[in-house]
Amino acid sequence: MVVDGAGTPASGPADILIRGNRIAEIVWLDPVAVAEGRARRPVAATEIDATGKYVLPGLINGHGHVQDERGGRPQPVDYERKLWLASGITSVREVGSPSTQKVIDLRERSEKGEVASPRIFVYARFGASPEPQTAEAARLRVRELKRMGVDGIKTVGIDRDVMTALLGEAHKAGLRVAHHAGVEETNAWDDIRLGTTSIEHWYGIPDAAIADGVQNFPPAYNYNNEVDRFRYAGRLWREADPAKLLTVLDGMVAKNVAWVPTLDIYEASRDLLRAQRQPWFDDYLHPTLEEYFRPNPRNHGSYFLGWTSTDETFWKENYRIWMNALSEFSRRGGLIGTGEDAGFIYQLYGFALIRELELHQEAGFNPIKVIQHATSNNAKILGRESDLGRVKTGYLADLIVVDGNPLENLKVLYPTGVETIVGGKAVKSGGVQWTIKDGIPYNGPALLAEVKEIVWAARQTAGKP
Ligand SMILES: [Zn+2]
């Protein structure tokens, strides 16, 4: 069965013929003829029997970070890459790593097939210090990044003058821009005016719709204190004026500003215990990441010191308004993508993107639309809608073979699968069986077993088996 990624219904059965790294042909079959063994089917040198399975375009992680350390401790990159592939991710839009050059090198090695990794799209980070904060310095930096060969730029925390210069130069250089739209001098109106490719997360959207222009912060609030910042972020959506908000969303639609909300990365704020005790942590949480997740003001996103039921209640309301805004944005013609932002706030690479998909369903989207967000919509945000994100002849052979129907239950996409009751007994099924990237098949369960080995070996070394 094929789910194309274009928002169209599932159909099948079909045989998908891959030649080199492209989808050469999709042969639609007559199910009766298949059952009777008289269907005319293509012959290939290598075949994957996907009888009873669902085939989707490889998932695109629209907001990922390549991380080889957490909190100063090393973490193997193959741990992360294998988790991504095992979760059906064939492309990652990398939106900021301490070393842009390292990510460019990984992109090259992935392209050559030298390393088991999703495709990497490099969006170099341009933020506050150490980047120089003048318009001219921003233009120079954009040109330098263009020469390095990046695919785009991710901005965070810069003022309006610098943002204006940066966007202008990026457009000239043909670079896309992802904006981590925080509560800062700029808000979504600047993205609309300057032509940002995508708004990451969300803050700048409700912030642009506050009647008095500024959120009602308590006097002692300090933006650089993460407990303050995340606590009061939970009270931001309620302050947005509903009518003004619709104007902002319409503005984004009119200027093709896409939205990658990363709903998953804030989930701990509305349900801390759930976030801290995810079942896959038992076997797949690297001790370096485990340590990083512990509440600690030194580590970004590890702000859960004195987190209260009141905070969670505000955040639950925050999610309701946020999710309504997302479905409103989509209904008005807005482009929504999916990204995980894992490696922070209890989100584990790969698993986090599947959780993001579930949250898009919770926001009101039909699973067919959710799959579209994670495939062809993300391809569009990357500017690669002509060869990525679809099960379509001539497109790159990035496909996943899933044990189960994700349109019935998105949880079948989790690498660890699901349990169902068959004949009174619990039976394990689900998971991405094969992740095919650039025509190369990777076996999901084998990758997952390798990740388990990496984690267990690291735990031995760390002295906590
Ligand atoms: Zn991020």
Judge whether residue 45 has pLDDT over 70: yes
| Cα 339 to ligand 1 centroid, rounded to whole Å | 9
Q: How many H-runs (helices) and E-runs (strands) does the chain carry?
A: 18, 17
CA of 19 to the centre of ligand 1 (A): 35
pLDDT at 404 over 70: yes
Condensed to tens digits (0 to 9), the pLDDT of residues 256-283 reads 999 999 999 999 999 999 999 999 999 9
Q: Is-contact 182 157, C-beta < 8 A?
A: yes
Of 259, 137, 244, nearest in space to 203 by CA = 259
How far is the centre of ligand 1, averaged over its atoms, from the C-alpha of 50 (Å)?
35
Instruction: Tell me the CA–centroid distance for residue 140 and ligand 1, in Å.
Output: 24
Cβ burial 1-20 (10 Å sphere, 16+ → b, else e): bbbbbbbeebebbbbbbbee
Q: How far is the CA of 239 from the centre of ligand 1 (A)?
A: 24
Query: Ligand 1: distance of its center to the CA of 252 in Å?
Result: 21
What are the CA-CA distances from residue 353 to residues 36, 261, 372 (Å)? Answer: 40, 12, 14
Radius of gyration of the chain, Cα coordinates, nearest whole angstrom: 22
Residue 340, class by beta-carbon neighbours within 10 Å (0-12 exposed, 13-18 middle, 19+ buried)?
Answer: buried
Instruction: Tell me the pLDDT band of 131, cut-offs 50, 70 and 90.
Output: confident
Q: What is the pLDDT of residues 329-378, one digit of tens each?
A: 999 999 999 999 999 999 999 999 999 999 999 999 999 999 999 999 99
Reduced to 3 states (helix: H, G, I; strand: E, B; else coil), residue 11 is strand
Å from CA of 341 to ligand 1 middle? 5
Closest to 1 (Cα-Cα) out of 39, 56, 81? 56
Residue 378 Cα to ligand 1 middle (Å): 16
Whole-angstrom CA distances from 349 to 73, 92, 433 are 17, 11, 18
> If you ran DSSP here, which 8-state letter would residue 404 be given?
S
d(CA 312, CA 372): 30
Tell how far the Cα of 154 is from the centroid of ligand 1, in angstroms.
9
Q: Structure tokens of 267?
A: 């989930």
DSSP 423: T
Give the DSSP H or E segment for 355: helix 351-362
Helix 135-148 and helix 160-173: axis angle, to 10°? Answer: 30
Give the distance (Å) from ligand 1 centre to CA of residue 80: 15
β-sheet bridge partners, residue 402? 54, 432
175 or 130, which is more confident?
A: 175
Task: State the distance from the centre of ligand 1 to the C-alpha of 260, rounded, in angstroms.
Answer: 11
Q: How far is the CA of 151 from the centre of ligand 1 (A)?
A: 16
What is the CA(166)–ligand 1 centre distance, in A?
19
What is the residue-wise DSSP string for 192-222? HHHT-SEEESSTHHHHTTBTTSS----TT--
Average pLDDT over residues 140-145: 96
* Residue 392 tokens, joined: 């379509």
Asked if 118 and 84 count as a contact pair (C-beta separation under 8 A), the reply is yes
Q: What is the distance in A from the centroid of ligand 1 to the CA of 95?
A: 6
125 C-alpha vs ligand 1 centroid, how far in Å?
A: 10
Ligand 1 centroid to Cα of residue 30, in Å, is: 45
For residue 337, the CA-to-ligand 1 centroid distance in Å is 14
Distance 318 CA to ligand 1 centre (A): 20
Residue partners of 218: CB distance under 8 A and separation at least 6: 232
pLDDT tens digits, 143-156: 999 999 999 999 99
pLDDT given at position 128: 75
Q: What is the pLDDT of residues 377-389, one digit of tens each?
A: 999 999 999 999 9
Handedness of CA 447, 452, 455, 456 (dihedral sign): negative
**CB atoms near residue 132 (< 10 Å):** 11
DSSP sequence for 359-395: HHHHTT--HHHHHHIIIIIHHHHHT-TTTSSS--TTS
| CA 64–ligand 1 middle distance (angstroms) | 6
pLDDT band for position 296 (cuts 50, 70, 90): confident
| Residue with tokens 């059965």, as numbered in its chain | 13
Residue 201's Cα: distance from chain center in Å? 11
pLDDT range class, residue 465, cuts 50, 70, 90: low
Tell how far the Cα of 340 is from the centroid of ligand 1, in angstroms. Answer: 8
CA of 357 to the centre of ligand 1 (A): 17
CA of 57 relative to ligand 1 center, distance in Å = 24
Residue with tokens 């390095």: 148
The stretch 64-80 carries a mean pLDDT of 96
Rounded distance from Cα 393 to ligand 1 centre (Å): 33
The full DSSP string for 272-326 is: HHHHHT-TTHHHH--HHHHHHHSS-TTSTT---SS--HHHHHHHHHHHHHHHHHH
Residues 6+ apart with CB under 8 A from 145: 100, 124, 126, 153, 175
For residue 57, the model assigns a pLDDT of: 98
pTM of the model: 0.97
How far does the centroid of ligand 1 lie from the alpha carbon of residue 265, in Å? 9
Going by pLDDT thresholds of 50, 70 and 90, the confidence category of residue 133 is confident
**What residues pair up with 18 in beta bridges, in sequence order?**
23
Which runs of E-coded beta strand occur in 32-130?
54-57, 59-64, 69-70, 73-74, 89-94, 119-126
Token duo for residue 393: 């002849």
Hey, is 114 helix, strand or coil?
Answer: coil
Amino acid present at 229: R
CA of 129 to the centre of ligand 1 (A): 17
The CB density around residue 200, as the number of other CB atoms within 10 Å, is: 29
Q: What is the pLDDT of residue 464?
A: 63
Which pair of tokens denotes residue 180?
A: 């981590």
Interval between CA 198 and ligand 1 midpoint (Å): 13
